[in-house]
């Protein structure tokens, strides 16, 4: 399933980029993340609880950042397995400076579900994924507001 959208943060592009690729920020802002450990440069292991409709479960998997091109863009691949099945996501995040203090984040990606998760949750996936992404960015924005 294709997912895309954009989010605007009131902060400069360099700062936003640094924050988005900071494992601590990811761990604290991505909803449901219980554990995030760096296992290699730009590669992390993660445990995350996700609920989509009636299906809820903990996924363990990997997050890989690639093609890091500060402060403009990076790729992110997430792969998780858990009780309700598996999830795979792959996407590109691009940052555009609207002005010195405003950055637009444009994201585009593909999410794939498997197992029972796919059977009951697929039709709600788009909405849930979008909400999680928005929560992530708004949390990043809040943190940046707090630290600024």
Partner 1 sequence: MAVTKLFGAAIKRREDPRLITGRGNFTDHIRLPGTLVMAIKRSPHAHARIVRIDTSKARAMRGVVAVYTGQDLVDKLAPVPCAWLIPDSDLKLTPYRAVAVDKVRYVGDAVAVVVAEDRYVAQDAVEAIDVEYEVLPAVVDQEKAMEPGAPQLYDEIPNNLAFHWKLHVGDFDAVWNEAEVRLSRRLINHRLIPTAMEPRGALAAYNPGSGELTIWCTSQNPHVHRLLLSAVTGLPETRIRVIATDVGGGFGSKIPMYAGEMIAAAISRDLGRPIKWIETRQENYVATIHGRDHIQYVDIAARRDGTITGVRVRAYANMGAYLSTAAPGVPTWLFGLMLQGAYAIPVIHCDVYGVLTNTTPTDAYRGAGRPEATYLLERMIDILARELGMDPAEIRRKNFIPKDRFPYTTPTGLQYDSGDYEATLNRALELVDYANLRRQQAELRQQGRYIGIGFSTYVEVCGLAPSQAAGAMGFQGGLWESATVRVHPTGKVTVFTGSNPHGQGEETTFAQLVADELGVPFEDVEIIHGDTEMVPFGMGTYGSRSTAVGGAALVAACRKVKEKAQRIAAHLLEVSPEDLAFENGRFFVKGAPDRGMTFQEVALQAYLAWKLPRDIEPGLEATHFWDPVNNTFPFGCHICVVEVDPETGKVDFLKYVAVDDVGNVINPMIVDGQVHGGIAQGLAQAVYEYAAYDANGQLLSASLMDYAIPKASMLPSFTVDRTVTPTPVNPMGVKGAGETGTIASTPAVVNAVIDALAPFGIEHIDMPLTPERIWRAVRERSS
Binding site for partner 1 (CB under 8 A): 53-54, 83, 85-86, 112-120, 122-123
Closest distance of CB 123 from partner 1, Å: 6
Closest distance of CB 134 from partner 1, Å: 25
Q: What is the largest CA-CA distance in the chain?
A: 46
Closest distance of CB 121 from partner 1, Å: 9
Q: Which is nearer to partner 1, 66 or 124 (CB)?
A: 124
Half-sphere exposure (Cβ direction) of 33: Cα atoms closer than 13 Å: 23
Closest distance of CB 96 from partner 1, Å: 32
Alpha-carbon distances, residue 67 vs 7, 12, 93, 100, 113 (angstroms): 21, 21, 10, 24, 24
Reading phi first (left if > 0) and then psi (alpha if -120 to 50, else beta), residue 38 is in beta
Cβ(48)–Cβ(33) below 8 Å = yes
């Amino acid at each position: 399933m294709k997912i895309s959208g954009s989010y605007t943060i009131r902060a400069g592009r360099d700062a936003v980029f640094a924050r988005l690729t900071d494992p601590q920020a990811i761990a604290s802002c991505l909803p449901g993340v219980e554990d995030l450990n760096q296992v290699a440069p730009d590669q992390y292991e993660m445990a995350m609880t996700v609920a989509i409709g009636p299906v809820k479960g903990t996924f363990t998997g990997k997050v890989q950042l690639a093609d890091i091109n500060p402060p403009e863009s990076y790729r992110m691949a997430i792969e998780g397995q858990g009780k309700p099945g598996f999830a795979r996501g792959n996407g590109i995040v691009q940052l555009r400076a609207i002005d010195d203090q405003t950055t637009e984040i444009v994201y585009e990606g593909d999410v794939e579900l498997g197992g029972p998760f796919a059977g009951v949750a697929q039709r709600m996936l788009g909405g849930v994924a979008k909400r999680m992404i928005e929560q992530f960015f708004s949390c990043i924005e809040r943190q940046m507001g707090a630290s600024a």
